[in-house]
Amino acid sequence: MVDILAAPQQADAKADSSLRTLAAISVAHWVSHFHLFVLPMLFPFLKEQLGVGYIELGFALTVFGVVSGMTQAPIGYLADHIGARKVLLIGLTVGGLALIMLGLHLSYASLIACAALLGLANSVYHPCDYAILSTHMDTRRMGRAFSVHTFAGFLGGAVAPAIMAALVAAVGGLGALIVAGAVGPVVALLLIAVKIPDASSADRKADGTAAPQQSIVTPALIVLTIFFMLLGLSNAGISNFGVVALMSGYGVTFHAANIALTAFLGASAAGVLAGGYLADRTKRHGNVAAACFAINAVIITIIAVTNLPPVVLTAAMGLAGFLGGVIAPSRDMLVRNAAPAGAAGRAFGIVSTGFNFSGILSPLLFGWIMDQNLPHWVFGASVAFMVLTVLLALVTDRKPAEPVKA
């Protein structure tokens, strides 16, 4: 009788703990995307204060991307070995202190050092967040948990321009760097206060001794890394070069082009939440991603080859963004399902390097396309990447992958 009465209370306590963990991890993801935009939002201030050009400022972002890309996989291994919770707290603190350091001592050398430290801090979020969520969220609601986490990141990037503009107006550029940086350590303290749990580790047995290492280099994870890179490339062209491509190649006004891009980005966030519910109701996550991107390829092809009226263009961009957002939870579920037990940190660390590769390649590729005066191919190249993404998404659903033998 005691057990029967205690069961509902235990279930409620577990649900409360899961909700608290999801909220805390989502706030950390919000910080990661917010910090991504701090330096770009301050470029006019930094250019004036440092006396450098946009090439030098752009180099700082390149440093960020390279460091983040090189450290994603090692951080994933570290998270599985010493604990994702500890690594996440360190990442929040390091990223925040990097911005505070730049605010206290502004120089070009400090800017590059700040960008490198921000890149290192950025590499902790995907491996650690997903490792913790994969361990402690209800499997039946895992897709929705992933979608809330992803949505929080989208929100962090969306509000960053307004927050930074308000901070610059209130406390100046240097003060804005310090305040924005302080968010990292403050959120780290918040995560400690709410006692977020750690992810389970496959590197230790129950008695604390080291467990035999297993290889996680599987064909599925290799394919998913390429899949993430293609996802990044297909979205980066539209997000970063869509406005200039629409203006120069289609005669769309600056105002109309920005409205269309806003529809694309805003609908993406809404699509992420809808995709969470869909991911919890299917086991064929690769098919969901393939279907959404196949429709997207058709929509973007229409945008690429026709001059749509502004209203129709905005609607088409919004639909494309929504479908692109729907994919995100299914994408994450594919990685979770492909990861060996206790190796979620390593798995997400490895595949997330695909996003970093796309972040390094896409400015060069789409910048070259625009330099060649081929604005239609900003959308055309995105379609090509979408088609390849569809094929890879279907491959991931064919059968479970076996580890590669050494």
Could you tell me which residue, 12 or 72, shows the higher pLDDT? Answer: 72
Residue 286 forms part of a structural domain = yes
Task: Please check whether residue 156 is in contact with residue 30, taking contact to mean a CB–CB distance below 8 angstroms.
Answer: yes
Cα–Cα distance between 261 and 280 in angstroms, integer? Answer: 29
Residue 252 forms part of a structural domain = yes
Query: Would you state the pLDDT for residue 206?
Result: 42
Cα–Cα distance between 391 and 294 in angstroms, integer? Answer: 10
Stretch 165-185: mean pLDDT: 95
Any idea how long the chain is?
A: 406
**Together in a domain, 229 and 185:** no
* Domain stops at, among 193, 228, 259: 193
Model confidence band, residue 214 (pLDDT cutoffs 50, 70, 90): low
**Together in a domain, 265 and 349:** yes
Query: Would you state the pLDDT for residue 215?
Result: 60
* 204: phi then psi, degrees, rounded to nearest 5: -125, 140
**Cα first-last separation, the chain:** 54
**Where do runs of H (alpha helix) occur along 123-141?**
125-136
**Together in a domain, 150 and 224:** no
Residue carrying structure tokens 């129709």: 312
pLDDT at 202 over 50: no
What 3-state DSSP class applies to 203?
coil
Dihedral over Cα of 43, 49, 53, 59: its sign: negative
Model confidence band, residue 89 (pLDDT cutoffs 50, 70, 90): very high
Query: Would you state the pLDDT for residue 200?
Result: 61
Task: Please check whether residue 122 is in contact with residue 68, taking contact to mean a CB–CB distance below 8 angstroms.
Answer: yes
Concatenated DSSP letters for 276-324?
A: HHHHTT-S-HHHHHHHHHHHHHHHHHHHHHS---HHHHHHHHHHHHHHH
Query: Would you state the pLDDT for residue 6?
Result: 45
Cα–Cα distance between 113 and 156 in angstroms, integer? Answer: 23
**Together in a domain, 285 and 381:** yes
**Together in a domain, 186 and 53:** yes
What is the CB neighbour count within 10 angstroms for residue 168?
A: 18
- Kindly report each contact of residues 313-316 with a partner whose C-beta sits within 8 Å and lies 24 or more positions away, as own/partner: 313/246, 313/252, 313/256, 313/260, 314/256, 314/259, 314/260, 314/263, 315/263
**Together in a domain, 80 and 120:** yes
Query: Would you state the pLDDT for residue 397?
Result: 60
pLDDT at 32 over 50: yes
Both structure tokens of 57: 């400022």
CATH number at residue 162: 1.20.1250.20
**Together in a domain, 140 and 270:** no
Residue 206 forms part of a structural domain = no
Query: Would you state the pLDDT for residue 191?
Result: 93
Model confidence band, residue 322 (pLDDT cutoffs 50, 70, 90): very high
Which value, to the nearest 10 degrees, does the dihedral of the CA atoms of residues 140, 146, 147, 153 take?
160
DSSP secondary-structure letter at 60?
A: H
pLDDT at 64 over 80: yes
Stretch 189-206: mean pLDDT: 72
Model confidence band, residue 171 (pLDDT cutoffs 50, 70, 90): very high
Query: Would you state the pLDDT for residue 209?
Result: 46
Domain limits for position 302: 219-396
Residue 294 forms part of a structural domain = yes
Query: Which is nearest to 128 in space by CA: 5, 268, 229, 29?
Result: 29
Residue carrying structure tokens 């390429």: 226
Query: Would you state the pLDDT for residue 182?
Result: 97
- Which residues, 6+ apart, have CB-to-CB distance to 179 below 8 Å? 167, 171
Residue 198 forms part of a structural domain = no
Residue 208 forms part of a structural domain = no
Half-sphere exposure of 164 (CA within 13 A, CB side): 24
**Together in a domain, 390 and 321:** yes
Query: Which is nearest to 84 in space by CA: 177, 5, 202, 179?
Result: 202
Among 31-40, 128-137, 153-162, 332-341, name the one with the lowest average pLDDT: 332-341
pLDDT at 398 over 60: no
Task: Please check whether residue 75 is in contact with residue 349, taking contact to mean a CB–CB distance below 8 angstroms.
Answer: yes
Query: Would you state the pLDDT for residue 133?
Result: 87
Cα–Cα distance between 377 and 382 in angstroms, integer? Answer: 8
**Together in a domain, 189 and 224:** no
Stretch 91-109: mean pLDDT: 96
**Together in a domain, 241 and 354:** yes
pLDDT at 170 over 90: yes
pLDDT at 172 over 60: yes
What 3-state DSSP class applies to 210?
strand
User: pLDDT of 246-283, one tens digit each?
Assistant: 988 888 888 888 888 888 888 888 888 888 888 888 77
Cα–Cα distance between 248 and 245 in angstroms, integer? Answer: 5
Residue 207 forms part of a structural domain = no
Query: Which is nearest to 352 in space by CA: 218, 227, 184?
Result: 227
**Together in a domain, 158 and 248:** no
Could you tell me which residue, 306 or 12, shows the higher pLDDT? Answer: 306
In the chain, the number of structural domains is: 2
Task: Please check whether residue 338 is in contact with residue 220, taking contact to mean a CB–CB distance below 8 angstroms.
Answer: yes
Could you tell me which residue, 368 or 122, shows the higher pLDDT? Answer: 122
Query: Would you state the pLDDT for residue 388?
Result: 92
Tell me the CA distances in angstroms from 384 to 179, 308, 328, one per residue in order: 42, 21, 19
Stretch 158-175: mean pLDDT: 90
**Together in a domain, 99 and 31:** yes
Residue 70 forms part of a structural domain = yes
Query: Would you state the pLDDT for residue 395?
Result: 75
